[in-house]
Structure 1
């Protein structure tokens, strides 16, 4: 047997290698699934098919879950009593009008034009009602499918949008498809797409703004680097005589930021559905200044913080806030162009016109401002007890979901047993609780690793969730969480991506990780199938309904 003797450094140990023994083969990486996938994706056409086909399949699934039997029940569910009827008067009159006493039964029976022409006090801006009204105009006001169509369409687009956002954010079609799939099968997202409320529409606009901010990050970084490079000047020679450059002290102002303008429009339109959209304007306004400051520091700008706050900051403000304000005002055009809206002529009829320095303000603006103040006072003073109100500190733990509809059915529909139809806006508990755990992990990970993707996801949570903690004494509900659920799903998807790993992982590890993720997704599907009846109002026996009360507070 021949041997070779090798030596390391002069002071290192010697070792003997058996030259006749073959070298150990390298450890195999990836799983059999990876091997199969590589064989399948051998052509650009197949890769395009996956990039398009995967998202399309998930969107089709979301559409089926949101549109099938959407017309059931043919009665106004929960706050549809406000938004559906307000949508119809807004579509017809340009503003929310009053109705006779107890009109819901007549409305559901087809008497949809019994509204009056005097204005009704509506506590949310008009855009969401214009959007719901479009579905009613398209399918007819007597169609309960039409009452909910626009909201269902918003829910489907929300799934499409989270796929696009996740794919861009994580640079992975697979993770984009997983994010969309989780949102597509989650019960909270399903219910908020099948009931004619405003919150699903808000979620769509806010996620669109979030996606535009994501696009603006790259747009801004590339153009900032190019502009700084163009302004560099020769510096003193280095210690070794090499040439150096001197960075501009503050750096340039980047004015042309189309994605920032798109974000402003999206956030402004979101606020014109519900005021909670303004929190996104504020939160992401601060976020964009921080991102600009960090980009300037990485590029070597000496006064990077001052430049971000005092130079680029005002430009960012002008591109964001006024544009969002215009977007907020556009849907009010019906109120301004007509005379019947609530408080439309308040100043003229109540002798309340402004005097002094503000006397020049046109009366329509004064009247509109008085309405906005009245709406604000209503919101901050709304303390009427409700059996399904939920403290926002409990939202992340799914303590008190909102039951939106319950009716006792003919026992013959349930084999002679007591029979109920129920619609509860409860998330898939497995998805929700795992997403909550993921968000807490992301907070830890942001502190340890400072990954920008994690920071962006958490900013969505900051804008969508934290402001509600200021209103713990107000009457508020778990279903408001649809506005920030997409960011919980993105956080969960980020953790799933970590769990999956990469094809470069050892074979045993990669195979185990894929199995774990596959089992998790399979459990999510089974739980969604189990909860489907209580998301869609299917007739079920009382004993079966009781199986869905995993916590006492869910009853």
Structure 2
């Protein structure tokens, strides 16, 4: 968490008496939230770049970025004085740089982008250890590239194909004697050095359940106030105010079947984007299954990146497949998919507006807050 702490100058200045070059905006709501807002906002264009490099399909990239923009967890974590948004941004940056690296056209570009990926991963890991899953995934695909080419599998336009090896084993045609030491430096020494350096303030001066997370089973309440807010003008019920770190259900719940369908696209269509999304999600999600202590919904933040990508990927593939024909009791129904992506994104935006009060602390009536679907915002009993 140390690199995230560097971004909070008010903490060092106010509580640690530190001096130096860092952002100091004071001990106030702006000072401890502004960097989260900045990096949270940057997550939207970063997701677009990540998705565009993963699969050069503009609709897919726009859909993924839109889902990030209107998801509750991304929205809440970007407004709360916590560090979780920083590793998420850095994870997406790391994957984007890695995909740029895979497309290198020269040895120089290959080495430079490899080192840049290592720096991004070092910053991500020093922000939070959930980034280790991203590092493992990137190393996995980095190692698998020459292995697959050796057995005659090459990546062509987003999918892999059997046949004669085409192109160099290493990105940009880099020489193994230069590439391998650089990879060790990028994914070993550089991240370790950045991680240790991020803890310098702590070395120099100081004072003295998880598997159900994708289902939004139990969100995290950051704030709740029910006294002194007045009454609702229409229902005459007392007003309450709360901030709940809960994702957009139309993103989270829909992403579950989308993730489960990824093996089909990997095996049947040999889709490289689907493989990256699937491995990335598994790497971020499965490690938490072995933890028996109490963990919270925001621990799923790293996996949310790939849940969003999976949903956008499946929506675009369904739209590309054309109308869906269904035979039911002798009758044939045709479901048009031309505007499937736009229509579903519209539903996501409407859901964002619906849940906006419980993501921002906007006072609403007690019934609107606590009641279940469709009157209130707490659709499940475990949300309260």
Query: What TM-score bracket applies, with the shorter chain setting the length?
Result: 0.7 to 0.9
Note if 1:259 corresponds to 2:88: no
Q: Report the Cα distance in structure 1 between the residues aligned to 2:266 and 2:279, rounded to whole angstroms.
A: 11
Within the candidate set 91, 111, 126, 2:12 is matched to: 91
Contact 1:148-1:195 within 8 A present in 2 as well: yes
Aligned equivalents of 1:168 and 1:510: distance in 2?
33
Structure-2 residue corresponding to 1:491: 310
- Per-residue CA deviation, residues 177-207 of structure 1 (Å, 9 max, x unaligned), is 1111111011111001110111111100111
Secondary structure in structure 1 of the residue aligned to 2:223? strand
Match of 2:329 in 1: none
Distance 2:362 2:323 in 1: 47
Looking at structure 1, the residues matched to 252 and 92 of structure 2 have their Cα atoms a distance apart, in angstroms, of 18
Alignment of 1:25-36 (within 5 A): none
Which residues of 2 match residues 377-416 of structure 1 at below 5 A?
Answer: 391-412=209-230, 414-415=232-233, 416=236
- Equivalent position of 1:551 in the other structure: 380
Q: Give the distance between the partners of 2:278 and 2:207, measured in 1 at CA.
A: 39
Q: Deviations over 1:102-133 (max 9, x none)?
A: xxxxxxxxxxx4x476x9xxxxxxxxxx99x7
Are residues 273 and 499 of structure 1, via their aligned partners in 2, closer, same or farther at CA, if it must alter by over 3 Å? same
Of 195, 201, 205, the match for 2:86:
201
Matched, 1:429 2:236: no
Does the C-alpha gap of structure 1 residues 156 and 116 become closer, same or farther in structure 2, counting only changes over 3 Å?
closer
Moved over 4 A (4+): 83-86, 310-315, 505-511
Residues 1:431 and 1:116: Cα distance change in structure 2 (over 3 Å):
closer
CA separation of 1:186/1:324 partners in 2, compared to 1, >3 Å: closer, same or farther? same
Instruction: Find the structure with the greater CA-based Rg.
Output: 1
From 112, 129, 134, the equivalent of 1:280 is 134
- Structure 1 residue 507, shift from structure 2 partner: 12
Question: Equivalences for 1:36-51 in 2 at 5 Å?
Answer: none
- Does the Cα contact within 8 Å between 2:16 and 2:207 map onto a contact in 1? no
The aligned counterpart of 1:168 is: 53
Taking the aligned partners of 2:110 and 2:301, their CA distance within structure 1 comes to 32
CA distance in 2, matches of 1:265, 1:419: 48
Relative to structure 1, the CA distance from residue 414 to residue 395 in structure 2 (aligned partners, 3 Å threshold; closer, same or farther) is same
Shift of 1:430: 0.9
The answer for the alignment partner of 2:159 in structure 1 is: none
1:411 CA drift (Å): 4.6
| Aligned position for 2:155 | none
Contact 1:199 1:483 in 2 (8 A): no
Aligned length: 348
- Report the Cα distance in structure 1 between the residues aligned to 2:67 and 2:369, rounded to whole angstroms: 24
Find out whether 1:212 has 2:31 as its counterpart: no
Structure 2 vs 1, CA of residues 506 and 521 (structure 1 numbering), >3 Å: closer, same or farther?
A: closer
- SS of 2:242's partner is strand
Offset, 1:170: 2.1
8 Å CA contact 2:225, 2:241 repeated in 1: yes
Equivalent residue number for residue 43 of structure 2: 158
Q: Which residue matches 2:284?
A: 464
Unaligned runs of 5+ in 1: 1-82, 93-112, 120-129, 225-253, 305-309, 344-390
Report Cα offsets for 1:422-473 as digits up to 9, x if no partner.
10011110111111211111133223333111111123213322221221x1
Residue equivalent to 1:109: none
Is the partner of 1:466 in helix, strand or coil?
helix
TM-score (norm: length of structure 1): 0.57
Q: Which whole-Å deviations, capped at 9, do the CAs of 1:269-328 have from their partners, x for residues lacking one?
A: 111111222232233212210123113443649xx8xxxxx9866653333211211222
Provide the C-alpha distance between the structure 1 equivalents of 2:6 and 2:123, rounded to a whole number of angstroms. Answer: 21
How far apart, in 2, do the equivalents of 1:420 and 1:85 lie? 35
In structure 2, what is the equivalent of residue 517 of structure 1?
A: 341
